[in-house]
């Protein structure tokens, strides 16, 4: 990899730039760290002192070329073993956009980390090695991106330099992957031939692949639409806290504060409060101290209602004409995150939006075999990194949307009531 | 497809990144207020904690912030920063706790280090204060862009009864479902600015017109060089013999203990000039101004494991 220590000034995004959250996924030797290093380096996001530290450590290990993976492996244990253990978040910017990158480990043992990174991502970059094409791990990553409803998927066919930059190699892999991913329900796929090591089509267009007319990885990241899903859906406001100043200036102020999960609320809207089902009308919206007529996801707001009704943390404010189903029996897909297995009969806490309720795992219906994506019935238990279907019964009714409609109101955590461990991440797939 | 526009950000589908970061930080403040008994906000008078206080004021407006502030006073603070701290506390009617490193040294519990830096000495007063006041959530201004160990930090970071951070046993954090469950004696460190960069903080300060201590802007100051940094001359123990004091035009990128926080040469006297300077800088904030992070490759990770913020 060529590295320049002579870097011009960083490109700084203007204050009004948009934000894209994305995740990377790839197998152990697909060159993911190199791609991340290349994106950071070529977008001038690496500082001189960081690069200097990488050069020093590389040289002390007898490496001729600075190892850009050292930029991203932040923990002692990671540097010692030369592997990425845990998700790390990276930040960089171009003149057009700011980026939050969830850098996730690729190994199958860390499936839960890819789930973690993808849960907030609007785009996932899946790397494959051009010499090996679509492998089991590629299919697994595509399946997780589909399961988590990541709106955009990029297939980065890496190491094109090792296949003589041959178009038919790229076209074959892209075709296989696209057919597979569309079958899983991935909404949008962009395939890009790259060499992270040589820098082809990562930030700069490749001179070696003039047959490719599409965007570079960075150009695509800069232009992909963001924020689309959340504002266009059913309006939902999980109540976080009730704001009651009780001061001489605000003797009667009573506001319901929360971040709008999806959709839009307007002053005058008829609303319902769940789980009680009591109705009212929005009399005012405070956007962090400023009165507004309308607000949309993901804005944090405070809603004021016409009627003085009993609302507390954990309640959900929704439009009166668009109410989600309330229920105590939940069928969902979960990714098991903890080291102790998840078994039927286990008592747990279910955290959904701002509401935490007691629950029991009634049944583990099936386990997904990640190698061929088949469902195996009655697995008995789920161990760490397993994805499976479960049936959960809650002590109180919960207002769930389908995950496809809302990543916020269609997801939940299962928590161990004894020690607080996060056991599993759940997705309402029906 | 819903349409709508808010008063500031224009079309809701295109909220600016500052709007998104602000909204997310407010969400985190409100989650803690909703789920914890006794939170506290670490406040040093530095730009990150000033932005946190501003966000907390917005999150609960028009009500007061439902928690108090905690300052770990190294005894080597910049006077301008202490003055700012006390003025802000008085203006908003806040309650301020102070954990004093000097007090620990006077009592013989902590000993001054040979290099004179008091930054690592903050950990014990901080963690003991957390235990004695029974704080169960402690807001810190740490940002993941500061340092590669911090890039691994969760927004809600569980600490054991000794305040230790174990990076290999962190809870996975998905969506915006933060898990704050903890046993008695344990607490959670909360980082609302996790996803902000130094530049975001400055752009937000400019957008919101937030007042800062004057040392963040270029001013003339008596400084001397140590380990490649400009340190302020003062009663804390500098300069030593052989170190020469000179008057230079400088400003600070970070605010911390005088013994290890360096100034940078700068003629940036306005927010716009500071932002231009930061955007063009080839050094990270910590690389430019923090002596203690240069001690070893894993200095930050090691301090964080022990309970540092």
Q: Note whether A91 contacts B: Cβ–Cβ < 8 A.
A: yes
Tally Cβ neighbours within 10 Å of residue B131. Answer: 14
Question: Do the chains contact at B200 and A421, CB–CB below 8 Å?
Answer: no
State yes or no: pLDDT of A282 exceeds 90.
yes
**pLDDT at A416 (0 to 100):** 96
A18-71 pLDDT tens trace: 889 999 987 766 778 788 888 887 777 777 777 777 778 778 878 777 776 677
Beta-carbon separation of A91 and B195 below 8 A: yes
Task: Give the mean model confidence (pLDDT) for residues A365-385.
Answer: 87
Instruction: Give the residue-averaged pLDDT of A281-299.
Output: 95
pLDDT attached to residue A1:
41
B195: which chain A residues are within 8 Å (Cβ-Cβ)? 89, 91, 100
Q: How confident is the model at residue A395 (pLDDT cuts 50, 70, 90)?
A: very high
B26 vs A18, A47, A300: nearest CB: A300
Contact B172 A422 (CB under 8 A): yes
**Tens digits of per-residue pLDDT, A231-270?**
567 999 999 999 999 899 999 899 999 999 999 999 999 9
pLDDT at A10 over 60: no
Counting as low any pLDDT under 50, the low residues of chain B are 1-12, 294-297
**Cβ of A252 under 8 Å from any chain B Cβ?**
no
Which residue among B4, B58, B278 places its CB closest to the CB of A264? Answer: B4
Mean per-residue pLDDT of chain A: 87
**Yes or no, beta carbons of B63 and A244 under 8 Å apart:** yes
Residues counted in chain B: 309
Provide, as residue numbers in chain B, all residues whose Cβ is less than 8 Å from the Cβ of A115: 172, 174
pLDDT above 70: percentage of residues in chain A: 89
pLDDT band at A80 (very low <50, low <70, confident <90, very high): low
DSSP strand E in A131-269: where? 152-158, 189-193, 237-238, 241-243, 255-259, 264-266
Higher pLDDT pick, A283 / A103: A283
Residue of B7, B152, B173 with shortest CB distance to A74: B152
The H or E element containing residue B25 is helix B17-35
Task: Tell me if A237-319 shares its fold with A325-428.
Answer: yes
Residue A189, pLDDT > 90, answer yes
Output the CATH code of domain A237-319. Answer: 2.40.30.10
Please, what is the Cα angle at A390 between A385 and A393, to 5 degrees?
130
How far is A280 from B91, CA to CA, in rounded Å? 37
B31: CB partners within 8 A, 6+ apart:
A240, A354, B178, B180
Contacts of A76 in chain B (CB under 8 A): 298, 301
| In chain A, where the domains are located | 18-223, 237-319, 325-428
Contact A278, A315 (CB under 8 A): no
CB pairs under 8 A between A and B: 244
pLDDT of residue B171: 87
Give domain A18-223's CATH superfamily: P-loop containing nucleotide triphosphate hydrolases (3.40.50.300)
> Is B284 within 8 Å of A258 when comparing Cβ atoms?
no
> How many Å apart are CA B107 and CA B113, to the nearest integer?
15
pLDDT given at position A127: 93
Where does B61-99 have alpha helices with state H?
79-91
Q: What pLDDT does A96 receive? A: 86
Residue of A nearest to B1 (CA): A232
Check residue B12 and give its pLDDT: 45
Model confidence band, residue A9 (pLDDT cutoffs 50, 70, 90): very low
Residue A219 contacts B where some CB pair is shorter than 8 Å = no
| Nearest-by-Cβ selection for B174 from A53, A228, A425 | A425
User: Closest chain A residue to B23 measured between Cα atoms?
Assistant: A300
State whether A53 and B297 contact (CB < 8 Å).
Answer: yes
The set of long-range contacts for B120-125, using a CB threshold of 8 Å and a minimum separation of 24, is B120/B292, B120/B303, B120/B308, B121/B74, B122/B72, B122/B74, B122/B257, B122/B308, B123/B163, B123/B303, B123/B306, B123/B307, B123/B308, B125/B72, B125/B99, B125/B100, B125/B101
Tell me the pLDDT tens digit for each residue of B135-175: 999 999 989 887 777 788 899 999 888 778 777 778 889 99
pLDDT tens readout for residues A121-136: 999 999 999 999 998 8
Q: What is the pLDDT of residue A136?
A: 84
Inspect the interface and report whether the beta carbons of B148 and A16 lie closer than 8 Å. no
pLDDT in tens, A196-220: 888 899 999 999 999 999 999 999 9
Q: Is the pLDDT of residue A401 over 90?
A: yes
Identify which of A120, A180, A115, A125 has the alpha carbon closest to the alpha carbon of residue A153.
Answer: A125
Give the per-residue pLDDT at A76: 54
pLDDT, residue A227, reads 67
Does this model's pTM top 0.95? My answer is no
Fold entry, domain A325-428: Elongation Factor Tu (Ef-tu); domain 3 (2.40.30)
Name the most confidently modeled range: A11-15, A136-140, B127-131.
Answer: B127-131
Using CB atoms, pick whichever of A243, A288, A294 lies closest to residue B63: A243
Other C-beta atoms closer than 10 Å to the C-beta of A108 total 15
Q: How close is the nearest chain B Cα to the Cα of A19, in Å?
A: 5
Query: What's the average model confidence in pLDDT over A98-119?
Result: 82
Are A300 and B27 within 8 A, CB to CB? yes
Q: ipTM of this predicted complex?
A: 0.90
């Amino acid at each position: 990899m060529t590295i320049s220590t002579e870097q011009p000034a960083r490109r700084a995004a203007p204050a009004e730039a948009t934000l894209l959250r994305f995740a990377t996924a790839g197998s152990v030797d697909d060159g993911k760290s190199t791609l991340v290093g290349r994106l950071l380096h070529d977008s001038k996001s690496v500082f001189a002192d960081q690069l200097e530290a990488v050069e020093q450590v590389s040289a002390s290990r007898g490496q001729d070329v600075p190892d850009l993976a050292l930029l991203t492996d932040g923990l002692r244990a990671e540097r010692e073993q030369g592997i990425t253990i845990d998700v790390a978040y990276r930040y960089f910017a171009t003149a057009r956009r700011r980026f939050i990158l969830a850098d996730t480990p690729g190994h199958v043992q860390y499936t839960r980390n890819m789930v973690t990174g993808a849960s907030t991502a609007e785009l996932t970059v899946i790397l494959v090695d051009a010499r090996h094409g679509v492998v089991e791990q590629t299919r697994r990553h595509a399946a997780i991106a589909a399961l988590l409803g990541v709106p955009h998927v990029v297939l980065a066919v890496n190491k094109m330099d090792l296949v003589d930059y041959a178009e038919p190699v790229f076209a074959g892999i892209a075709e296989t992957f696209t057919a597979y991913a569309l079958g899983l329900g991935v909404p949008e796929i962009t395939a890009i031939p790259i060499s992270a090591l040589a820098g082809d089509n990562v930030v700069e267009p490749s001179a070696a692949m003039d047959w490719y007319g599409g965007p570079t990885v960075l150009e695509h990241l800069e232009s992909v639409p963001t924020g689309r899903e959340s504002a266009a859906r059913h309006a939902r406001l999980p109540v976080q806290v009730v704001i009651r100043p009780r001061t001489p200036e605000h003797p009667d102020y009573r506001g319901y504060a929360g971040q709008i999960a999806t959709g839009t609320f307007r002053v005058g809207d008829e609303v319902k409060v769940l789980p009680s089902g009591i109705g009212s009308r929005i009399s005012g919206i405070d956007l962090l101290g400023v009165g507004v007529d309308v607000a949309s996801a993901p804005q944090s707001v405070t809603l004021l209602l016409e009627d003085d009704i009993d609302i507390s943390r954990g309640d959900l404010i929704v439009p009166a004409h668009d109410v989600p189903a309330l229920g105590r029996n939940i069928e969902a897909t979960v990714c098991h995150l903890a080291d102790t297995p998840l078994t039927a009969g286990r008592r747990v806490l279910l955290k959904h939006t701002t509401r935490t309720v007691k629950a029991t795992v009634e049944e583990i219906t099936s386990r997904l075999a990640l190698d061929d994506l088949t469902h195996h019935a009655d697995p008995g238990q789920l161990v760490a990194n397993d994805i499976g279907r479960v049936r959960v019964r809650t002590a109180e009714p919960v207002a769930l949307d389908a995950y496809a409609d809302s990543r916020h109101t269609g997801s939940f955590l299962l928590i161990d009531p004894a020690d607080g461990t996060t056991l599993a991440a759940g997705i309402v797939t029906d | 497809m819903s349409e709508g526009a808010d008063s500031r950000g224009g079309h809701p589908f295109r909220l600016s990144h500052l709007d998104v970061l602000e909204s997310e930080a407010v969400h985190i403040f409100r989650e803690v207020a909703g789920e914890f008994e006794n939170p506290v906000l670490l406040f040093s008078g530095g730009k990150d904690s000033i932005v946190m206080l501003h966000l907390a004021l917005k999150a609960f407006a028009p009500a007061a912030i439902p928690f108090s502030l905690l300052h770990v006073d190294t005894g080597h603070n910049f006077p301008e920063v202490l003055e700012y701290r006390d003025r802000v506390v008085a203006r908003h009617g806040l309650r301020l706790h102070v954990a004093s490193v000097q007090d620990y040294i006077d009592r013989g519990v902590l000993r001054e280090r040979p290099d004179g830096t008091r930054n690592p000495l903050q950990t014990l007063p901080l963690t003991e204060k957390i235990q004695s006041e029974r704080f169960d959530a402690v807001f810190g201004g740490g940002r993941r862009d500061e340092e590669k160990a911090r890039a691994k930090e969760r927004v809600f970071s569980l600490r054991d009864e000794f305040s230790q951070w174990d990076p290999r046993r962190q809870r996975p954090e998905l969506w915006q479902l933060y898990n704050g469950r903890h046993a008695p004696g344990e607490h959670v460190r909360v980082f609302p600015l996790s996803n902000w960069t130094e530049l975001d903080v400055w752009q937000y300060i400019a957008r919101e017109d937030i007042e800062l201590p004057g040392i963040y802007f270029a001013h003339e100051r008596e400084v001397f060089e140590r380990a490649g940094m400009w340190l302020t001359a003062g009663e804390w123990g500098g300069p030593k013999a052989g170190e020469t004091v000179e008057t230079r035009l400088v400003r600070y990128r970070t605010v911390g203990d005088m013994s290890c926080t360096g100034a940078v040469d700068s003629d940036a006297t306005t927010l716009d000039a500071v932002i231009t300077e930061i955007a063009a800088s080839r050094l990270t904030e910590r690389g430019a101004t923090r002596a203690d992070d240069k001690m070893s490759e894993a200095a930050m990770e090691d301090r964080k494991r022990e309970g540092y913020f």
